[in-house]
Amino acid sequence: MKLLHLLLAGLMLLMPLSYVASAADDDAPARTKRSAKARKAKERDVRKAASRKKKELREMGVKNVRVKNPGDWPRKVSVPKDTELAPGPQGGPGFAYTSNHFLYVSPVKLDAAAQKTVARLCECAYAANKAIGGEIPVPRATAERGDKKFLVQLQPTMEAYYAAGGPRNSAGVFLGAFRRPANVAPGTPQVIKEEHIAMDKVMIPFPSLGIGANGSVVKEDIDTHALVHELTHQQFLLNNLPIWANEGWAEYVGYVPYVGEDLDFDRGFSLILHAAKQRADRGALDFDFSLEDFFTMDQQTMYGYMPQGKDTYMLSVMTVAFFVHLDGKKGVDAMKAYLQALIDGKPADEAAQELIKPHRSIARLQQDFIRAWKSKKVKVSFPKK
């Protein structure tokens, strides 16, 4: 009898397990169906976002202008499929989140949609800069970082952003621990230590990301220029380049629009051209220095022109775009040689000869630069050499 009771007890224990297993098996098609439905909904959302962005560009008057791209230059860079979000290290003030290559810290808790917005854009920018680095020898920070993640510090309001050191009238900032000493000429090689790289951070306010002060998304269609610009400073070791190349490369990637979940390089030049035409129309591209002067200009001088209504930032990205897109293969090769010369430790004026050499003289290069932009209906002027 005792043996019979034990057998009956065993059967009773097995019955619920069998039922649960059967129920789970029955639910598998439903889960697959829900997963497929969620995937299709996400794809629709991405298509809608892309459609809205294209409409916004058209309403801005941005015309899609095709230009020649060098080699395997990226056309569209998508958010990597393996992008994952996870909670960050706990114990510090505020909240922390991580994605594949980034650590995000915020004094305010971000909801799931806000976390996704920030992380997917940052990972897309990382993938875009990696793609550029495969074609052009722009020094990248990844080798020096080891397994350290890039730090992005979020501030809930503009007031909090300014209080934490964000510059007035800016929408984001890269705060690099490495700074070239004032008495060292641009282009002079500097030792960038691991502790400098580890301390680098991008600081961005919620309003620049379409996020409200409560940590929720309030605006889906945002201008990503500021964040992508600052991420490019962070991911490339631009601080060791002459200031025009430093800002020129960051601006170049910053102008690439985020369409859906793609950084659309095909439309990047179109936006640069659109902005250049606007600056030219108000005389912001009429300069009292030569292109040769610009190649060796220090940061204080370059920034000093901006309050005077002379857009040296625009000139920096136009210079990058000229060599990469408007000057044919010789322009791309010249840019590669220039950046490699800087990486090899040549002073800025020596390295600049790599840009000049294919045109035989700086006067000829300046003429070709003016002519190339004039062909795109952008008037830029320098004093004649």
Return the number of other C-beta atoms located less than 10 Å from residue 146's C-beta. Answer: 9
Phi, psi of 352 (to 5 degrees): -60, -25
Residues in the chain, overall count: 385
Q: Which of 33-47, 217-231, 329-343 has the lowest mean pLDDT?
A: 33-47
**pTM for this model (two decimals):** 0.80
- Are the C-beta atoms of 234 and 149 separated by less than 8 Å? no
**Which residues fall within 8 angstroms of residue 221, CB to CB, at 6 or more apart?**
49, 52, 53, 56, 210
Per-residue model confidence (pLDDT) at position 13? 39
Per-residue model confidence (pLDDT) at position 54? 66
CA atoms within 13 A on the CB side of 116: 9
Residues 288-300 pLDDT 10s? 999 999 999 999 9
Q: Which of 79-88, 142-151, 268-277 has the lowest mean pLDDT?
A: 142-151
- Are the C-beta atoms of 121 and 227 separated by less than 8 Å? yes
Confidence of residue 67 (pLDDT cuts 50, 70, 90): confident
Residues 44-59 pLDDT 10s? 555 666 667 666 666 6
Rounded Cα distance between 212 and 316, Å, is 33
When the pLDDT of each residue in the chain is averaged and rounded to a whole number, the result is 82
Average pLDDT of span 18-43:
55
DSSP state of 367: H
Per-residue model confidence (pLDDT) at position 195? 41
Q: Taking the alpha carbons of 369, 371, 373, 378 in that order, is the dihedral positive or negative?
A: positive
How much is the CA Rg of the chain, to the nearest whole Å?
26
Place of tokens 């500021």: 226
Highest-pLDDT range among 20-24, 292-296, 345-349 = 292-296
Rounded Cα distance between 100 and 150, Å, is 10
Residues 97-140 pLDDT 10s? 999 999 999 999 999 999 999 999 999 999 999 999 888 887 77
Rounded Cα distance between 317 and 275, Å, is 10
DSSP state of 147: T
User: Does 190 or 149 have the greater pLDDT score?
Assistant: 149
